[in-house]
């Protein structure tokens, strides 16, 4: 019985490690996606787009593993909660990869022109920085199950919301003279970064729930 439990625990640990790997992958992707759009780097944009396929594969394999574990082990109580929560977290992380992919696609679409006007470069740079840092911290939350750190991720989202509001205010300002196409690109970019951070918060909230059994 002890051996069976040991094997099961190894499987649970493997699930957690893959979630951490996914968090690191989507963090790296968003960092590169931001660089690609700010530096008009087509090669980097293509790398992000290709990496999204790898992220999808890892997520699909993880979900299959989790379902297999549930079927074989028939876990109950906290073990079942951990596995069901992992399924939901993997979906959030996969979506974060998609959003980094979307940022890179705008960089590719506008190349060799800049998708981000000079007036908004620092805002987009800030949004990319916050997004990547939130994803990295989310990985730390997954690894440590630190509920205080999980709460920090939610507070970090306030920075993203502030930057998003600043971006929208710039676009709708009477001083805006970069045209409709640029305004649409920036509106989409702002939405991608904002949704990315929302998914990071979702993952952290799920870890909090996993540890405490409650949502705050």
Could you tell me how far CA 157 lies from the centroid of its own chain? 12
Whether pTM > 0.75 for this model: the answer is yes
The confidence band for 5, taking pLDDT boundaries of 50, 70 and 90, is low
Looking at beta carbons, which pairs linking 105-111 to residues 24 or more positions away fall under 8 Å? 105/45, 105/49, 106/37, 106/185, 106/188, 106/189, 107/33, 107/36, 107/37, 107/40, 107/41, 107/42, 107/44, 107/45, 108/36, 108/42, 108/45, 108/46, 108/49, 110/185, 111/40, 111/42, 111/45
Residue-wise pLDDT for 100-156, tens only, equals 999 999 999 999 999 999 999 999 999 999 999 999 999 999 999 999 999 999 999
Domain boundaries, the chain: 8-212
**Average pLDDT, rounded, for the chain:** 94
| pLDDT cut 90: percent of the chain above it | 85
Q: Give the H or E element holding residue 167.
A: helix 147-172
What are 90's two structure tokens? 């993997």
Return the CATH number of 8-212, one of 1.20.58.220, 3.30.565.10, 2.60.40.10, 1.10.15.40.
1.20.58.220
What are 96's two structure tokens? 């974060």
């Amino acid at each position: 019985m002890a051996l069976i439990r040991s094997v099961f625990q190894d499987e649970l640990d493997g699930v957690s490690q893959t979630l951490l790997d996914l968090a690191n992958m989507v963090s790296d992707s968003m960092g590169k996606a931001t660089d690609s759009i700010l530096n008009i780097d087509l090669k980097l944009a293509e790398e992000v787009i290709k990496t999204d396929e790898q992220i999808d594969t890892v997520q699909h394999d993880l979900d299959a593993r989790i379902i297999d574990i549930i079927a074989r082990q028939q876990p109950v109580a906290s073990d079942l909660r951990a596995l069901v929560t992992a399924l939901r977290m993997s979906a959030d992380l996969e979506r974060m990869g998609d959003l980094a992919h979307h940022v890179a696609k705008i960089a590719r679409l506008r190349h060799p022109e800049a998708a981000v006007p000079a007036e908004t470069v620092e805002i987009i740079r800030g949004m990319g920085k916050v997004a990547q840092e939130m994803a990295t911290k989310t990985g730390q939350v997954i690894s440590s199950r630190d509920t205080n750190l999980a709460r920090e991720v939610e507070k970090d989202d306030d920075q993203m919301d502030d930057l998003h509001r600043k971006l929208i205010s710039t676009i709708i300002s009477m001083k805006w003279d970069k045209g409709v196409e640029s305004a649409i690109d920036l509106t989409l970019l702002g939405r991608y970064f904002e949704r990315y951070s929302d998914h990071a918060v979702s993952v952290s909230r799920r870890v909090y729930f996993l540890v405490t059994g409650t949502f705050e």
